[in-house]
Structure 1
Amino acid sequence: MDRVPSDGTPPRIASIHGVLSPKQSSDIMDRLKRAAGPTEILERQVAVNEAVSGSPLIKGNSVNLLVDGPATIDAMFRAIGGARHSVNMETFIFEDDEMGRRLADLLIRKREEGVRVNLIYDSVGSMQTPASFFKRLRDKGVNVVEFNPVNPLKTAKKWRLILRDHRKILVVDGKLAITGGVNISQVYSSKFSGEGKGPLAIPWRDTDILVEGPAVSEFQKIFLHAWEAQKGPALNEKEYFPEQKEAGKNLVQVIKSRPGEAGRTTFIMYVSAVAFAEKSIHLTSSYFIPDRQMIEALRDAARSGVDVKILLPKTSDQSMALYAGRYYYDELLEAGVKLYERRNAILHAKTAVIDGVWATVGSTNLDFLSFYNNFEINTVIVSSDFATEMEKMFTRDLAESDPIKEEEWEKRPWASRMREWFAHLFARML
């Protein structure tokens, strides 16, 4: 994507009263420019997102950054515990461990209180969870849908094992949403301690957000669409869309993707954001296996003087993906991209903050599975205040990371190079 100038047309901004006039939209953009300085990303990238996804910027939202797993888990339990009407949850992994059982007990309790509880879990992501775990939820009145079942006899649609639901969405009472990268698993429950040995003995580092305001309806629509597509029990949609009120000052755009070339909206979101950046690109990615278009966009940005920093894992639960990602380090470093590897944690976050005003938190990894095969969701937040919070989080992570220096990287053993070359041959499968 070329680095082209803006034509001056403001992006479409929606409110609880409908779409704002061009002048009202321009006034909002002008205030953001005064706070963050001029940047193409404020108008061009947001317009690209809307063109490919149909999702406008929505004003009037509160967005709280849930920096790590413990913060996210606490927020989930508080939100569900306070539910009065409905709980809708969509997740890739729902494990039968301490956290999973606690959450299941809470969902059952809320159902007994009369709250409508609907759950979508991915069949492959939750493959290790026994069927009896979900049967207990169903027996207690929770509506449970298995996304694209591994067993072809259980699906009413064409069976395609590779298509997975990687989204993480929680919507409570239609007025609060939590989304990001955190699955339902005990591995997210501990804070960074610097202790432990082996990839499964150290904490997982992930990030979510809590959204309140009119943008929550977008998450609800996405959940209900997935529910209907998976032939879940019929739901009365009118019961899931309460009247919304403005809850804050953040502009939010909700971007969902689906498998196939026409559905790669989160891929377009990332590539266009990188292409339109003018000052800084700070990415955090748990599984980093970029395609050629993303590599070129990152290289072009760095060569044009943009501060490009990418935070990546030093240890991973997927070693082949780790080596495949490292295969691309050489050409990125040569172009001036700064790479860092996070120590003493399994880095699982998928976030970005660009030009000090545009940020995204979501489920999308910078790899082929997310861009081609998975159903994903990312939230774009256009706010200098929220971007500042994201930058602070990124800086704290960098302090716990090792920089990859080009001259040292070139001296790595040939055995490492061979592992990287071999792993990258399977890039589309990792």
Structure 2
Amino acid sequence: MSAMPWCRRLLQRLSWVLLCLWFTGCGGLPVIVPDMAVQRRPVQIEGARGPLSAAQSKAILERLQARGAPTNVLDRHLALEEALVGSPLVAGNRAQLLQDGPATYEAMFSAIRAARDHVNVEFYILEDDEVGQRFRELLLERQRAGAQVNLLYDSVGSLGTPKSFFDPLREAGAQVLEFNPVNPLNVRRGWNVNQRDHRKLVVVDGRVAFLGGINISSVYSGGSLSRSGSRGRSVSEQQQRQRARDALPWRDTQVQIEGPVVAEYQRLFMQTWSAQRGPELPARDYFPALQPQGSEVVRAIGSAPDEPYSFIYATLISALRSAETEIFITTAYFVPDPQLLQTLQDAARRGVKVKMLLPSRSDSSFVLAAGRAYYQALLDAGVELYERRDALLHAKTAVIDGVWSTVGSTNLDWRSFLHNQELNAVVLGPVFGARMREVFNADLAASQRIDPAEWARRPLKQRLAEQAARLWSWWL
């Protein structure tokens, strides 16, 4: 028996022992019972004026399937979504993928400039840099023009942003709220610094919503690196100089949505505002009558750590288990729990083509090392792993069977599923799915596939670093 496998097994066993000891009494992820994914009741879809009739819902499903989706696959995923999550499936939406910061900021800023009634903003990171200042000035201009601005930002994610940055907004009449303040003297509810608002959301006039992985930061505009990094971690001056030398453009994805489902994102914003005990929002037309804008069926899914379990996690696990042909996943931070790891392995072993696009470089080398500790188990099961070159991958997307797609803020790690407020869109249908596959394949062309044989020969020092980082999976 060689020393390498023995060393790896010993480290893995020690890791699990320590995890069990450290995490006893801590929150866990739900066990998703397979029977939850096979309910066969008719799918109910909502439209601009409320729930559609069974006949109308059936007609929408038939039209979606007629566009080229495999028989029963779309219906299966639609039924799965209906069974698992309380928020409605909403028809009549237009969903547009936005790649990277420049395209996202152009579309988002343009929508804000056209705001007449209100702009609701929720971001993990809002930095006091060139992009942040442009964003603030745009919000100020709208506030002064009569459109109410309500802004919610995370205390840890925006830790490097001085409080004075928000003063002009407050003075102009905007409502500004800090999520879970780090300073316990400023809390409005129970203090839990580990629970963060990782969402990225803008809702304009209750008619258009933007969400995904892109924060308000200059890292997205030209490849320059920020002081805080995408997770709000402080870094030393030496680290900043090193990052400046190794600067990479950030690769991320956002989605712009118009149509009746925007009201669901508006409700999620207001739920968070209320849970944080923010001041009463000024009266505005937050829920205007919404007309159909397209043909996409969309579900808005939000999750919060004080809920019984993550709706996003539950729907993802069940969608993966229902996959029949392919699973394409892009994620910036990959530190899976045992159930997610097993679900991906099982899918590959039953013949589903599973491809995962992961970063080759990260703003957190510790998280990157922890994720790589799981590569071997996935490779052994037949999962294809790729690492994106020449960019810092920050996107969080998936497309399954070409008909089930998601874009949002949720990473595939314990932090997103247990500790963070997250926000995703699930879009059902082959048209949006085809666009998602196109973007995924373009990223794949700029990536390096992990060769299983070469990976098995990686140095012992790297293996030890991976297992050491894996010990902290629950917190990462």
Tell me which interval the TM-score lies in, with the shorter structure as reference length.
over 0.9
Q: Distance in 1 between matches of 2:394 and 2:253?
A: 8
User: By how many angstroms is 1:67 displaced?
Assistant: 1.6
Matched residue type, 2:208:
L
Aligned to 1:348: 394
Matched residue type, 1:38:
T
Structure 1 residue corresponding to 2:465, chosen from 393, 412, 419: 419
User: By how many angstroms is 1:197 displaced?
Assistant: 7.8
Structure 2 residue corresponding to 1:21, chosen from 53, 64, 86: 53
Cα RMSD (Å) = 1.9
Gaps of 5+ in 2: 1-32, 225-240
Deviations 1:91-131 (A, max 9, x none): 00000000000110111111110110000000000000011
Matched residue type, 2:462:
S
Aligned to 1:364: 410
Q: How does 1:369-384 map to 2 (within 5 A)?
A: 369-384=415-430
Structure 2 residue corresponding to 1:406, chosen from 452, 455, 468: 452
User: By how many angstroms is 1:236 displaced?
Assistant: 5.1
Aligned to 1:36: 69
- State the SS of the aligned residue for 1:263: coil
Q: How does 1:58-207 map to 2 (within 5 A)?
A: 58-190=90-222, 198=243, 201-207=247-253
Aligned to 2:280: 234
User: By how many angstroms is 1:50 displaced?
Assistant: 4.1
User: By how many angstroms is 1:201 displaced?
Assistant: 1.2
Matched residue type, 1:37:
P
Count of residues paired in the alignment: 426
Does the C-alpha gap of structure 1 residues 266 and 237 become closer, same or farther in structure 2, counting only changes over 3 Å? farther
CA contact (8 A) 2:39 2:83 kept: no
Q: Distance in 1 between matches of 2:162 and 2:284?
A: 34
Matched residue type, 1:228:
S
Q: Distance in 1 between matches of 2:321 and 2:335?
A: 18
CA contact (8 A) 1:6 1:43 kept: no
Structure 2 residue corresponding to 1:216, chosen from 262, 270, 281: 262
Does the C-alpha gap of structure 1 residues 412 and 344 become closer, same or farther in structure 2, counting only changes over 3 Å? same
| Bigger Rg, structure 1 or 2 | 2
Aligned to 1:386: 432
Q: Distance in 2 between matches of 1:260 and 1:226?
A: 11
Q: Distance in 2 between matches of 1:54 and 1:63?
A: 21
CA contact (8 A) 2:44 2:51 kept: yes
Matched residue type, 1:307:
K
Does the C-alpha gap of structure 1 residues 127 and 50 become closer, same or farther in structure 2, counting only changes over 3 Å? farther
User: By how many angstroms is 1:376 displaced?
Assistant: 0.5
Aligned to 1:54: 86
User: By how many angstroms is 1:300 displaced?
Assistant: 0.8
Does the C-alpha gap of structure 1 residues 4 and 123 become closer, same or farther in structure 2, counting only changes over 3 Å? closer
User: By how many angstroms is 1:7 displaced?
Assistant: 5.2
Structure 2 residue corresponding to 1:246, chosen from 287, 292, 303: 292
Is residue 336 of structure 2 the alignment partner of residue 259 of structure 1?
no
- State the SS of the aligned residue for 1:231: coil
Deviations 1:159-194 (A, max 9, x none): 0100100111100011010000100000011379xx
TM-score when scaled to structure 2?
0.86
Gaps of 5+ in 1: none
CA contact (8 A) 1:94 1:129 kept: yes
Deviations 1:193-239 (A, max 9, x none): xxx98476111111001101101101111111111111222125662
Query: More displaced, 20-29 or 120-129?
Result: 20-29
User: By how many angstroms is 1:262 displaced?
Assistant: 1.3
CA contact (8 A) 1:58 1:214 kept: yes
- State the SS of the aligned residue for 1:376: strand
User: By how many angstroms is 1:353 displaced?
Assistant: 0.6
Query: More displaced, 47-56 or 68-77?
Result: 47-56
Matched residue type, 1:297:
T
Deviations 1:46-69 (A, max 9, x none): 444444431111000011110222
CA contact (8 A) 2:124 2:158 kept: yes
Is residue 271 of structure 2 the alignment partner of residue 225 of structure 1?
yes
Does the C-alpha gap of structure 1 residues 236 and 110 become closer, same or farther in structure 2, counting only changes over 3 Å? closer
TM-score when scaled to structure 1?
0.95
Q: Distance in 2 between matches of 1:63 and 1:2?
A: 30
Q: Distance in 1 between matches of 2:212 and 2:248?
A: 20
Does the C-alpha gap of structure 1 residues 329 and 32 become closer, same or farther in structure 2, counting only changes over 3 Å? same
Does the C-alpha gap of structure 1 residues 150 and 110 become closer, same or farther in structure 2, counting only changes over 3 Å? same
CA contact (8 A) 1:53 1:256 kept: no
Is residue 371 of structure 2 the alignment partner of residue 325 of structure 1?
yes
